[in-house]
Structure 1
């Protein structure tokens, strides 16, 4: 688990997995785009059925 001091925009290029953002866990898969607010604790893992990656991140400093 980790966090950043900037906004992250994440795009799942292929596969699927579980992404924990704060206390919420969401299933993400190919084509998903989501925003991670600064200082949120995050963690990503595979579902066991498919690998996830690459997840493409864009850092947005405000």
Structure 2
């Protein structure tokens, strides 16, 4: 069974674990619809799909 050659100190262990944290997702507001959405993601609004303020898919036409 593998085991470390020397003991890892508490400080070294805690420094490594500081990178494991949750980030708050960035939320943008669409200029066309005023709807909140995640950055770099398309979002649905009233049966239409918008990306970067532009209409991509219109469900009513299909």
Identify the TM-score tier after normalising by the shorter chain: under 0.3
Higher relative contact order (CA 8 A, sep 6+): 1
Higher gyration radius (CA): 2
Structure with more of its chain in strand, by fraction: 1
Normalized per residue, the structure richer in helix is 2
Relative to the length of structure 2, the TM-score reads 0.24
